[in-house]
Structure 1
Amino acid sequence: MEKGCYVKDIAPASDVGGVFAVSQAAQGKARNGPYWRLTLTDASGGVEAKIWHPLSADFADIAPGSLVWAEGRAELFREQVQLVVERMRFLSPAEQAALDEAAFLPSSPYPLDGMLDELLALCREEFHHGPWRKLVLDFFADEGLRADFRICPAAKGIHHAYAGGLLEHTLSVFKLCRSLADLYEELDRQALLAGALFHDMGKIREFSGGLANDYTDEGRLLGHIMLGVAMLEPFLARSGLSEALQMHLKHLILSHHGELEYGAVRLPQTAEALTLHYADNLDAKLAQCRGLFAQQGGGPGWTPWQSSLGRTLCRIERTPEKKSPEPRKKAMKRECLSLLKV
């Protein structure tokens, strides 16, 4: 079975037909009857879709993770592309088996193995205190935890919401905290980096991953912050870390959302906790910017309204970069080769 149209190719005022994964589905009520609001996704991204009445009445339930063939018309709604579904059906087991699931799983643009190798190499370089080093290396020696961390998304929809997103985000926050620790020598470098490494680790139990990428039961009831602290407990017990350093790491995890109304269990109350919060927030915000600018294509302009940021964003023309002069040795070699061709 052919995949058909990809999300990235959907343009306003165009006809659409293709296989998509349903990542979110919710019912609503309009003046002319009930309707379905869906998010249809594939490896290239996601698009909001509406099934209006009376077609909506044909679907008693639409489960996240379902694969569907959907046809309809794309239009602009509040400056964002939206698909009005005119026909839709669920794929049969045989049709699903004939498809490559990778075509429906958005993934990090960076190689997962390369990012994991880089992160572990940085950990071996940075953690010199024996108990910190034992904690980190013992955790990543667990093949199940390492494999789950490698592919886990960092979110359901706001930032890094794709396979490998948690690894990508963690690596970025870790490297950002390294730079900040270089600049601010009063920071406890190894405690800060341990917080950067483990701050979102509970997400490997908060999210299901896969086509649905939904919250697990423990994810809904406990959340990734509490889950992350619980996951570390047995490793902390064997690490030999002092009680004060164990408490500090837990505080870094519990407070990294910064404000109680944004999910922090405690406000950041150490210099390292403040640093981690701002590094985490900066990487998440810039990831949202990248996603919005990518939807625009190249060139300057304004993005659609982004509710999670509470604003639209403007992509300004970039300052021209001066090209680095070609190394003399390389230039001479190129000149010699050109003479040989004459």
Structure 2
Amino acid sequence: MLVSAPEMTTDNQAENTPTSSPTDASVETVRKVYAKDLREKDSVNTVFRVTKKDRVTARSGKVFLSVVLVDKSGEIDARVFDKVETLEPAFAPGDYVLVRGNVIAFHGKVQVVIEALERLDPEPLDPKEFEPPAAPAPAPAEQAPAPKAAAPAREAREERRNEEQAAPKTGGEGHGGARAVGQIREIITERVNDPHVKALLLAFLDDPQIAAGLPHAPAAKGVHHAYRGGLADHLLSVMRLTLRVADHYPMADRDLLLAGAFLHDVMKVAEISPEKGFEYTDEGKLVGHLVMTAQKIREKTLSLPNFPPLLEQHLTHIVLSHHGRLEYGSPKLPVTLEAQIVHALDSLDSRIASWVEAMQRDPNDKWTENLRLYERSLWKGPVPTVRGRAPVEGGGRKKFKEKKPKERPEKTAGEASPSQRPEKAERQEKQREPRPPREPREQREPREQREPREAREPKPPREPVNVPKELTFKPFSVLTAKTEPANKPEGGSDSEG
């Protein structure tokens, strides 16, 4: 919503600025508070210019907006945790906004938590009030050091690792799937250079269907990564592999490799249900995730301005050919370096994950049982090198069997356990040995005879208690009898005395 700019006053202008006319209802007087003067627990109601706005998903799955506000004193970080869907389309980088909220301290830096925000008409505002101070020039005798590319990346990673602590936590699983999604976004943001490719991948991550399903979706029904969050783990693993391969094969394009690694299986969020059993959906059976991803690429590229058609075709080709063979469901065979690499790395990651999971389930020590899927047994014992480690530690099911308490054999009467028998025999031997005779005790000296006590006066006899000598009563059987005895005396009571 575009509103009229408020009449802004600074500390120097506050005393000399006349109040606005009551008839001008569209003008609001707002005192300008500069970014460098904000402190923890301050309330914010002032104007800034937006220089950055990002939609971020924390490791908990919570979506929030990361905003940078600026004025002539400097810039300050801000966050929108509530009403994200309402406030996100209300402003953009470069807009002047009236911000209402509170200031908190996050990792030693002040940060504005935005509760309400309005976009303003920039015409009445002085642009000089919102130009950040220029960086100090280096001394003439000293050459400015080259900027370190890794420093912003480290700061971004550290910030994302701690965003979950600042964002209000909601109920949820909070498993590895959500963490993998956050790491995928981090790679896309920091390692993808082409602006069109980055915009497309972020549009996929921000798609409501993908954002809701990716932290929980499995990568397959039962072959590999068949668990909740397994799809995000698989995509992240293939993306990391492409980064290593791109360094080895510089003739392949890194941005296309990263895009293909993320896109190739991403629409499995709609192909396989994450509920119990991981059944295929109707759309998954009728269309399949390769075509569903191609459709989603066309949908997103149409919404992005000036997206190159040839770039869209290369990305679609990587997705449609990543199974590698026509009989495996790919309508096209790989014909580009990037498509061939993505196919190979996808096959490698899924095969290794499948083998390791099979080894973990197998109860044997060295060789697995014959796997019908691969028609072979797999070696799972230690490697014959100085490393000496097995691919899977603990031996799979056997590891869990050892944790169960062993059943103890029932003891018969008078039978001792094997661990107790030697000790008992030793005790019996010791008891059989004759004891040495005791030494005679020394005769104690007789005690001195005490003087006899004085005889006490006899106590007076107690007064007799008035208790009847005889008590008569009827037994309980007589009291509970239904009929009275025939020989009951007339006029007599049930008991006497």
Once residues 162 and 228 of structure 1 are traced to their aligned partners in structure 2, the CA distance between those partners, rounded to angstroms, is 21
Task: Please identify runs of 4+ aligned residues in structure 1 that moved more than 4 A.
Answer: none
Q: Deviations over 1:36-77 (max 9, x none)?
A: xxxxxxxxxxxxxxxxxxxxxxxxxxxxxxxxxxxxxxxxxx
Tell me the equivalent position of 2:75: none
Identity %: 34
Tell me the equivalent position of 1:317: 382
Tell me the equivalent position of 2:355: 289
Q: Deviations over 1:269-302 (max 9, x none)?
A: 11111100010000010011111111236x8411
SS in 2 for 1:197: helix
Deviation, 1:114, is: 1.9
Letter in 2 for 1:199: H
SS in 1 for 2:214: helix
Gaps of at least 5 residues in structure 1 are 1-101, 323-342
Tell whether the 8 Å contact from 1:207 to 1:213 is kept in structure 2 after alignment: yes
Letter in 2 for 1:116: V
Once residues 166 and 238 of structure 1 are traced to their aligned partners in structure 2, the CA distance between those partners, rounded to angstroms, is 26
1:277 aligns to 2:343 (yes or no) = yes
Letter in 2 for 1:307: R
Tell me the equivalent position of 1:133: 198
SS in 1 for 2:320: helix
Once residues 295 and 367 of structure 2 are traced to their aligned partners in structure 1, the CA distance between those partners, rounded to angstroms, is 43
Q: Give TM-score scaled by structure 2 length.
A: 0.41
Once residues 227 and 274 of structure 1 are traced to their aligned partners in structure 2, the CA distance between those partners, rounded to angstroms, is 21
Tell whether the 8 Å contact from 2:177 to 2:214 is kept in structure 1 after alignment: no
1:175 aligns to 2:240 (yes or no) = yes
SS in 2 for 1:314: coil
1:234 aligns to 2:316 (yes or no) = no
Tell whether the 8 Å contact from 1:112 to 1:164 is kept in structure 2 after alignment: yes
Q: Which has the higher strand share?
A: 1
Tell me the equivalent position of 2:277: 212
Q: Which has the higher helix share?
A: 1
1:225 aligns to 2:290 (yes or no) = yes
RMSD: 2.1
Tell me the equivalent position of 2:221: 156
1:123 aligns to 2:188 (yes or no) = yes
Letter in 1 for 2:360: A
Once residues 327 and 209 of structure 2 are traced to their aligned partners in structure 1, the CA distance between those partners, rounded to angstroms, is 33
1:195 aligns to 2:260 (yes or no) = yes
Letter in 1 for 2:236: L
Tell me the equivalent position of 2:319: 253
Deviation, 1:139, is: 1.9
SS in 2 for 1:128: coil
Q: 1:186 aligns with which of 240, 251, 275?
A: 251
Once residues 302 and 373 of structure 2 are traced to their aligned partners in structure 1, the CA distance between those partners, rounded to angstroms, is 38
Once residues 309 and 259 of structure 1 are traced to their aligned partners in structure 2, the CA distance between those partners, rounded to angstroms, is 18
Deviation, 1:213, is: 1.4
1:308 aligns to 2:373 (yes or no) = yes
Tell whether the 8 Å contact from 1:196 to 1:276 is kept in structure 2 after alignment: yes
Tell whether the 8 Å contact from 2:210 to 2:267 is kept in structure 1 after alignment: no
Q: Deviations over 1:74-105 (max 9, x none)?
A: xxxxxxxxxxxxxxxxxxxxxxxxxxxx9xxx
Gaps of at least 5 residues in structure 2 are 1-171, 389-497
Tell me the equivalent position of 1:265: 331
Q: 1:244 aligns with which of 305, 310, 324?
A: 310
